Structure 1
Amino acid sequence: MGNNKKRKEKNHKKKKRKATAEQNLALRYVHEWAFRDSPPASPAGDAPDDFAPQSSHKIVDPVVFELHCHSNHSDGFLSPSAVVERAHSNGVKVLALTDHDTMAGIPEATETAQKYGMRIIPGVEISAIYSPRHEPGAGDLVHILAYYGSSGPSRPEDLDNLLLNIRDGRYLRAKNMLLKLNKLKVPIKWEHVTKIAGDGVAPGRVHIARALVEAGHVENLREAFNRYLYDGGPAYAMGNEPFAEEVVQLICQTGGIAALAHPWALKNPVTVIRSLKTAGLHAMEVYRSDGKAAGFGELADTYKLIKLGGSDYHGRGGHDESELGTVSLPLATVYQFLKMARPIWCNAMKDILQSFAKDPSDANIEKITRFGIPKKSKVCHTVNCGKDIVDLCLSSWLTSDEKEENEFQAIRLMLADTLISNGVVKVFG
């Protein structure tokens, strides 16, 4: 009897040691990527891992990821810089800015994040429609989060064209909403909505809701949505949303990670998730600060999707909005996300840099630097060898081992005779 008890205690200690080793491995891996330096050391006896090199120092601070938030480049209230600053004050170390159907705010967010030693994951929340029969205007409105590496999508024109078409549709959609409101004897002026949205920002429902509040038709944003603007509501309208499966496929083809946003808002979540998984969906949101996503973790497990989450912060203020960094992602989840994403982002970066090496034009410099390197960087104002731009781009995103891969070495050699002076490319030799 006593021997059995000792054996159980021994087995329990072994399991505990194994779990600790796995957690430490995940911690080292996440720290290595998030802070661009050596990861914390593993306890004696831990097996080495290909993804996380050994180190002599220990890091115990948590790495807070915020993977879903918005700025005033879509329907948020704060500038990208203000979002980054607020995230930093909340302890966020890695932030994905995911404005609706635009990536215009990411350069500003990236530049601000450099001041605080934060990482920015270039992201976008893409509006789409799920229709089992592929009928425009029918089915569930679906939002797909796309996460890219520091240099953005490997085929930026394809993604840009998709987003531009959606934004054009948002203008038409907003005008149709105003027509419906006018028929309901709730008049709103177009100029009022566009002024609230700001220059170059495609109007969304929140801008119309703010106009309703300012015009005195409702007391707050919640009432505007509950009375008029909810999905299928009396003033609701659709735009040029593409089919969700096509959006997921494009994200995969351009070197991004595709995640289903707030699945609990769908009318038929199981059907949508099953179809999008077939199209290549990598992940879905499961974690919320209010704990109201019960049951979706099991759905993610069923379809072998990584379980993510974020605050969906807009900067509205009030008790009904989660703060930046308040959705706590388990370390194992972040580890799984990065292990899946990093090879995809690395391959996308190779495609972008190889395109630049074959055609070191001004347009291809812009593709490299628009997200990964701030525009005020000295790279844009001094004479640089082309391979220096490659090195600067790689150092901002990849690990030492990844940077030494043969493909990147070959790109450096190809660009050895390429000079960039004040944005003008010259090739010698």
Structure 2
Amino acid sequence: MASVIDLHCHSTASDGKLAPSALVERAAGQGVEVLALTDHDTLAGQQEARGAAERLGIQLVSGIELSCVWGGATIHIVGLDMQLDSAAMQQAEVAQLEARKQRAHTIAERLSRRLHTDIPLAEIQRYAGGELVGRPHFAQYLVDQQLVPSMAVAFKKYLGAGKPGDVKANWPALEQVVRWIVDAGGIAVLAHAHLYKMTRTKLRACISDFIDAGGRALEVSYGNMDADQQRRMVALAQEFELLGSCGSDFHGPNRFGLDLGVMPAFPADIEPVWQHFRSA
């Protein structure tokens, strides 16, 4: 279904395909009226997105998606309606970007050893073009240097799960990430919890710790979430008395068939997170 509210999407400031202004323009074309740009671990696209939103009459909610660790698993927390110039947000962005830089450095070192050739990180950063460096940039470099025949082979042999380039960043604990968002005046949302490979008992423990840290919401309407997944998330939101959030997790055209504003209908019996925004 089409929603006029989309609180989870990405631009070229992280791993999306559209520049922040182009993303906002596409959202307007899709009928979205309230949008949160939630790039991974960076606020770099917020100013450009705000300019476009003001021009097009869209309400832009400040947002970010922060990576963290809980129980040995990487978890994503969406921050909404934060004060972007707060000390907490500045600290969060610096810490997360440093973790990503260290990860990129480790990937370059591992690939250099495995391929017996220098993989210059500076060159990979050029491929990123100002975006956060990720495995796709390494894959494209390997293809262009004729070290592999295709992106698919690059991931299959060197960058996919369990391969040398599959490096986990040294993310902070869940409690720290939630605290950054809360200290910045925002609302912490546990992102796409239906996708974490956890037992129900472990997921409930994660949600409990999330709440203890100050978390307040759970994504209950998300991109291509199916009906059973949504029922489970709604039940958890009700059990833990959490607010509900929604978002497409749009990264770009043709990615998983998603588009901005496209997601299951928001459940009528869950209190929406946007009713608690400062601008509400």
The two structures share one fold, judged by TM-score above 0.5: yes
The 1:227–1:312 alpha-carbon spacing in structure 2 relative to 1, beyond 3 Å, is farther
| Alpha-carbon displacement from aligned partner over 1:351-379 (angstroms, at most 9, x marks no partner) | xxxxxxxxxxxxxxxxxxxxxxxxxxxxx
**Hey, which of these two has a bigger chunk of helix by percent?**
1
The 1:63–1:282 alpha-carbon spacing in structure 2 relative to 1, beyond 3 Å, is same
Higher relative contact order, chain-length normalized (CA < 8 Å, sep 6+):
2
Distance 2:235 2:210 in 1: 16
Q: What SS does the aligned partner of 2:62 have? A: strand
Q: What SS does the aligned partner of 2:211 have? A: helix
Where in structure 2 are the equivalents of 1:75-86 lying within 5 Å? 75-86=15-26
Choose 62-71 or 210-219, whichever is displaced more: 210-219
Code of the residue aligned with 1:66 in structure 2: it is D
Asked if 1:191 is matched to 2:122, the reply is: yes
Give the superposition deviation at 1:214: 4.4
The 1:331–1:121 alpha-carbon spacing in structure 2 relative to 1, beyond 3 Å, is farther
Which residue of 304, 307, 311 corresponds with 2:244? 307
The 1:94–1:233 alpha-carbon spacing in structure 2 relative to 1, beyond 3 Å, is farther
The 1:232–1:277 alpha-carbon spacing in structure 2 relative to 1, beyond 3 Å, is farther
Aligned-pair identity in percent equals: 33
State whether residues 9 and 251 of structure 2, in contact with CA within 8 Å, keep that contact through their aligned partners in structure 1: yes
Give the superposition deviation at 1:66: 1.1
User: Residue 282 of structure 1 corresponds to which residue in structure 2?
Assistant: 216
Distance 1:241 1:170 in 2: 9
User: Residue 79 of structure 2 corresponds to which residue in structure 1?
Assistant: 146
Q: Name structure 1 gaps, 5 residues minimum.
A: 1-61, 132-138, 346-396, 399-429
Q: What SS does the aligned partner of 2:124 have? A: helix
Distance 2:239 2:149 in 1: 43
State whether residues 98 and 125 of structure 1, in contact with CA within 8 Å, keep that contact through their aligned partners in structure 2: yes
Where in structure 2 are the equivalents of 1:185-264 lying within 5 Å? 185=115, 188-199=119-130, 201-215=131-145, 217=148, 219-220=150-151, 228-230=158-160, 233-264=163-194
The TM-score with structure 2 as length reference comes to: 0.84
Q: What SS does the aligned partner of 2:67 have? A: strand
State whether residues 258 and 283 of structure 1, in contact with CA within 8 Å, keep that contact through their aligned partners in structure 2: yes
Where in structure 2 are the equivalents of 1:9-408 lying within 5 Å? 64-131=4-71, 139-148=72-81, 152-153=83-84, 156-185=86-115, 188-199=119-130, 201-215=131-145, 217=148, 219-220=150-151, 228-230=158-160, 233-268=163-198, 269-292=203-226, 293-294=229-230, 295-315=232-252, 317-318=253-254, 320-330=256-266, 332=268, 336-339=272-275, 341-342=276-277, 345=278, 397=279
The TM-score with structure 1 as length reference comes to: 0.57
Alignment size in residue pairs = 270
Code of the residue aligned with 2:76 in structure 1: it is H
Choose 226-235 or 275-284, whichever is displaced more: 226-235
Distance 1:90 1:262 in 2: 22
Code of the residue aligned with 2:249 in structure 1: it is D
| Alpha-carbon displacement from aligned partner over 1:308-352 (angstroms, at most 9, x marks no partner) | 23221222x33525111111442747862223x23xx3xxxxxxx
Distance 2:234 2:149 in 1: 37
Distance 1:244 1:97 in 2: 21
Give the superposition deviation at 1:233: 4.5
Max radius of gyration: which structure?
A: 1
Distance 2:91 2:120 in 1: 29
Q: What SS does the aligned partner of 1:92 have? A: coil
Q: Name structure 2 gaps, 5 residues minimum.
A: none
